[in-house]
Amino acid sequence: MADIVTRGNLFDPEIVRDLVSKVKGSSALAVLCGANPVPFNGQKEYTFSMDDEVDLVAEGGAKSRGHMALGSRTIAPLKVEYGARMSDEFMYASDDAKLDVFAAFNDGFAKKVARGLDIMAFHGVNPRSKQAATLIGTNHFDNGVTVITPETGEDANDLVERAIEGIITADFDVDGIALSPTFRSDLSKLTYNDGHKMFPELTWGAMAGTLNGLKAACNNTVSFNSSLDRAIVGDFGKGFKWGYSKQIPFEVIKYGDPDNSGRDLKGYNEIYIRAEVYLGWAILDKNAFAVIRSAASAAPGEDGE
């Protein structure tokens, strides 16, 4: 893979008027849960619960106390960035050519941000290093969410049914499912006793927007980095929040060593282009979700890249 982009490289230019709208095309979470703008300094989402039922009281009878709780989850934007070096001959190109390169870079960055949102929120890792990120902490689905693994005789549909049963039993709704390619394939192979496909909308690699009334999205970010995760089911509409800061800076850097490579830009007739965005998310209640995992160890790279 080329490390430094030169004028001789080919681009597929596309004018991107709204960077964030591109996220929906390549993020399972963006499909299952719409974004809300997040202030640069973050915001608190409050959760209110009443664990008891209403009390029937006879005339003149004593009233008992009910229990309630007020909790909160903080959505703190985290900075993600992508930068690349280019020949400074780019600066002598026509304005139209510059715009084409900016557009191509923005389009690629938007897709990487979308993929990064899934990877960070699903697994709590830095997408580039693939290592657990201290900045994310426990704010991800692989921590504290109910795990469903196959039992003897269970197929993929049985696993989904068991995951949904547990969530509903805990008094939460279920409105969406994120699938890995492997789990999508497992569902597509299921048939009824008469031989008809149980999920014909998944035949030959197709991916419907809904499965049995649930919003559905398939993305290999679910099983990124050889994760055993195969699907995530739950109440994405009310149980998960994500958003971005309004400012998405894009800059062309002409001087210095902005990527800490030890290579001075001017010394090598290069420029550096960089884009940044601030993303924030929170799982409001982990009991509203279930992660379906494979019982066997995944082979290196399975579904991951």
- pLDDT score at 40: 56
Closest CA to 260 of 62, 81, 97: 81
Mean pLDDT, range 164-180, rounded to an integer:
95
- pLDDT score at 292: 97
Closest CA to 23 of 104, 116, 114: 114
Sketch out the chain's domains with CATH numbers: 16-48+71-293 (3.30.2320.10)
In the chain, the DSSP E strands lie at: 4-5, 43-50, 68-75, 78-87, 146-148, 176-179, 210-211, 214-218, 229-234, 240-244, 250-253, 270-283, 289-293
Alpha helix stretches (DSSP H) within 21-170: 28-32, 95-123, 156-169
Give me the count of residues in the chain.
Answer: 305
**CA pair distance 84, 99, nearest whole angstrom:** 16
- pLDDT score at 6: 54
Say if residue 216's pLDDT is above 90: yes
C-beta of residue 205 within 8 angstroms of C-beta of residue 143: no
pLDDT tens readout for residues 104-139: 777 788 888 889 999 999 999 999 999 999 999 999
**Average confidence score pLDDT of the chain:** 81
Tokens describing residue 154: 């269970």
| Residue predicted with more confidence, 47 or 168 | 168
Give, as one character, the DSSP assignment of residue 265: T
- pLDDT score at 25: 39
Pairing verdict, β 210-211 and 176-179: unpaired
pTM of the model: 0.78
Residue 285: partners with Cβ closer than 8 Å, 6 or more residues away: 47, 172, 239
Say if residue 84's pLDDT is above 90: no
**CA pair distance 169, 4, nearest whole angstrom:** 54
Banded pLDDT at 268 (limits 50, 70, 90): confident
Per-residue burial over 149-184, b if 16 or more Cβ lie within 10 Å, else e, is ebeeeeebeebbebbbebbeeeebebbbbbbbbbbb
Mean pLDDT, range 200-209, rounded to an integer:
84
Query: Strand, coil or helix: what is 286?
Result: helix
The answer for 269, left when phi > 0, alpha when psi is -120 to 50, beta otherwise, is left
What residues form DSSP beta bridges with 37?
none
- pLDDT score at 18: 38
Tokens describing residue 172: 């939460």
